[in-house]
Structure 1
Amino acid sequence: MQMRSRWSAIVGYSLVGAATQLVWLNFAGVTTVAAARYGVSETAIGWLAQVFPLLYVVLAIPCGLLLDRWFRPALVAGAVLTALGAAIRLGDTFAWLLAGQIVASVAQPLVLNAITGITARSLAPKDRPAGIAIGTASIFAGMLLAFLLSAVFTTASAIPTLLIIATVFCAAAAVFLTVTLRAPAFAAIPEPAVVRPSAESFPAQLSDDDASAPVPSALAAAWGDPLIRKLCVLAVFPFGVFVALSTFAQALLEPSGVSGGTASVILLLQVVAGVLGSATIPILVARHHAESTLLVISLSATAAACALLALAPGVLTGFVAITLIGLLLLPALPIVLELVERRTGEAEGTAAGLIWMAGNLGGLIVAVAVGLLVDHPLAAFLVMAVIALIAVPGARSLRRPIAELRVRSDP
């Protein structure tokens, strides 16, 4: 019997995915006033965001394994913990803020790792690229919402209101997703069929006996697959450039006369372009079987844009280059995740966790490297250009394994 798509589950997931990013970046635009309100340094406020990628690197695989064994309870737990973390921050001291951020950061991998699993369990195969694109776009939309709220609530006295709005949004999203996942129609959806790699890929790591022990077999299936390993390595580079650029664009462009307010608008447009690109480009790419080509184009364009910023930094080039990066680079994430969903089946949570872990690790490494060069914008932008270029051969090499995956997925 043909599976019928249930888009309500994707809507619920998208709301919770946006909520995780809202909590993560709540203080990105109000760092200075938050530091003054809570009597701490701006560096301390920065740690309210930094705990998220740090804990993601540690928890990505365990959370992926939980999702592969107990998908619905694990995803609901992620939604509830996100709302709980947001609520804890209402204590209105820095200690409560940090405690709430830690709770929400534990929830984030349970939510983000589930993007391939929710689409496989909710949507017919023909709709899954669109579902992953929408789910990923919602993550960037959550970033956008965080930036917009911090642009509206700009004073120290407005921060409690900012936190209340975030808590209400997170709680509503958690309730909606929980109700959706408890619906009888969702429970009736069969587990997604497993598309196992060929035995030659990892002959000693996955056998029929492993079906009764999904946790170890899920990790073996994910990490033992050469294509998944290639995608993990590839994810380091675009993630790294995006995180570094988002973190240091204002400081790197300031010597060229770009004000802080203008830089904020530039980064806002980058995320808007990323939301639009992530919601549309991956669907077209999947339809025309052009995944490898798009990844090569996006990485090459990112390298060219970073080189332009290095050689001719300014307001106009900042708007053009950084918006282009958002439009073409951010859709690389849903494209990679859609390949993971087609490849793995029962191990999709673990495989997605590996991708997110690699990406967050890349973000930390590249951001540190660029941070060391923050007083040398030319060198910093060139480093990001080189990092994007390094990944181009890897993206090109995916053409053959993606073609083979398509043959196995669509016999």
Structure 2
Amino acid sequence: MARVVTGSRWAAIVGYSLVGAATQLVWLNFAGVTTVAAAHYGVSETAIGWLAQVFPLLYVVLAIPCGLILDRWFRAGLLAGAVLTAVGALVRLIGDDFGWLLAGQIVASVAQPLVLNAVTGITGRYLEEDDRPTGIAVGTASIFAGMVIAFSLDAIFTTGESLGTMLAVTAIFCVAAALVLIVALRNEGPHSVAATSSGDRGALEIAWGDPLIRRLCVLALFPFGVFVAMTTFAQALLEPAGVSGGTASTILLVTVVAGVLGSAIIPVVVVRRRAESALLVLSLTVTSIACVVLALAPGVLTGFVAIALIGLLLLPALPIVLELVERRTGEAEGTAAGLIWMSGNLGGLLVATVVGLLVDYPTAAFLVMAVIPLIAVRGARALRRPIDELREQPQP
């Protein structure tokens, strides 16, 4: 069925961006106040850590099913994700105890793949072809912006007594974001196509059967694995070098801000210059060098420079990969995006586990993180030819 071109509708991207930020805000609400939250709710710091860990764990399980839902019922699936995110945030306000916190996190974590998998679908349905790289960059940058909001709230609400206020502010944001998206998606996108008639199995076969999608999935394991491990253990790994917890939190905040800016700007420029493969190679190489610097000369200055560079160059790799997915797939774009996100989360779990085992040996941990992106450099360089071939194909 041919698409009828009637212009881009950026209101849908704005609504999506708010909900995407909301998912990350709920996920990382306690990242910077783990010790305070553990004392307030009478549980261990490990238990507080599980409030965040349920998100990547459930993402790995739900990524493909949620992608299939989006391919069949895109608007309903995305709106369900927005509503569930808001419901999860509200559930945490029912009682001032850990049980309600965990229940709310589980609800929101189920919603996350419905939202994040939709970043290519929302642009494909509501934006014209020339605007889609920008839309994907904006949507992905908003996801990282949600991390910035979470870290900022952690810096404001630093006591046990203020945690309830932080959760209330988060819930208000999530509800408002859901309402904006509901209004923005009141009509089908002008570029929507009919749901695939091949069924759920067909959508998965289309996505996984594509050799380029499989290569992008493998590639996603490495850079995002390093980023998750770095953000999880940077404070512990830099502490022996005299970097305080507060300074490490500031480094991470600067890193994510750099990633937001990079994700909003770099992919647009790269796609226009047809330099996707070169940018991926550059980001992986710089990440490796930055990790070597941290291994050999850890400190405040090197921490700021090296980790901020990682955020600036590594995070934009995600919207670049997702833009390739949007160009490559049509009726299976939700499933394909789900495979990419699943691979990234799986890489995060694996690399973070390895680095966690080496947390008492910072030099070894940083060197491991230096080797991992180098493994993917050859694969990133080899993408040049299939990307050039993709440009010659008609837009699905």
The answer to whether 1:304 aligns with 2:289 is yes
The answer to whether 1:59 aligns with 2:73 is no
User: Matched residue of 1:391: which SS?
Assistant: helix
Structure 2 unaligned regions, length at least 5 = none
Structure 1 unaligned regions, length at least 5 = 194-209
TM-fit CA distance, 1:410: 6.5
Aligned counterpart, 1:226: 211
Preserved CA contact (<8 Å) 2:126 2:189: no
Of the three residues 232, 247, 252, the one matched with 1:247 is 232
Aligned counterpart, 1:140: 144
TM-fit CA distance, 1:409: 3.3
Aligned pairs, how many?
Answer: 392
The answer to whether 1:12 aligns with 2:25 is no
The answer to whether 1:279 aligns with 2:264 is yes
Task: Describe the shift of the 1:211–1:145 C-alpha distance in structure 2 as closer, same or farther (beyond 3 A).
Answer: closer
The answer to whether 1:172 aligns with 2:176 is yes
Rounded Cα–Cα distance in structure 1 between residues aligned with 2:6 and 2:270: 23
User: Matched residue of 1:212: which SS?
Assistant: coil
Preserved CA contact (<8 Å) 1:3 1:123: no
Superposition map of 1:96-175 within 5 A: 96-175=100-179
Superposition map of 1:69-84 within 5 A: 69-84=72-87
The answer to whether 1:25 aligns with 2:10 is no
Rounded Cα–Cα distance in structure 2 between residues aligned with 1:318 and 1:29: 18
Aligned counterpart, 1:189: 190
Identity of aligned residues (%): 75
Preserved CA contact (<8 Å) 1:120 1:192: no
Superposition map of 1:190-205 within 5 A: 190-191=191-192
Preserved CA contact (<8 Å) 1:68 1:214: no
TM-fit CA distance, 1:38: 0.7
The answer to whether 1:402 aligns with 2:387 is yes
Task: Describe the shift of the 1:128–1:190 C-alpha distance in structure 2 as closer, same or farther (beyond 3 A).
Answer: closer
Q: TM-score, normalised by structure 1?
A: 0.94
The answer to whether 1:328 aligns with 2:313 is yes
TM-fit CA distance, 1:189: 1.3
Q: Deviations over 1:185-218 (max 9, x none)?
A: xx2613259xxxxxxxxxxxxxxxx952232211
Of the three residues 359, 364, 382, the one matched with 2:349 is 364
Q: TM-score, normalised by structure 2?
A: 0.97
Of the three residues 20, 40, 45, the one matched with 2:43 is 40
Aligned counterpart, 1:196: none
Rounded Cα–Cα distance in structure 1 between residues aligned with 2:307 and 2:206: 37
Q: Deviations over 1:283-307 (max 9, x none)?
A: 0001000000000000000000001
Task: Describe the shift of the 1:393–1:379 C-alpha distance in structure 2 as closer, same or farther (beyond 3 A).
Answer: same
Rounded Cα–Cα distance in structure 1 between residues aligned with 2:368 and 2:313: 19
Rounded Cα–Cα distance in structure 2 between residues aligned with 1:129 and 1:273: 19
The answer to whether 1:2 aligns with 2:5 is yes
Letter aligned with residue 14 of structure 2: V
TM-fit CA distance, 1:110: 0.2
Instruction: Indicate the RMSD between aligned Cα atoms, in angstroms.
Output: 1.3
Aligned counterpart, 2:340: 355
Rounded Cα–Cα distance in structure 1 between residues aligned with 2:242 and 2:43: 30
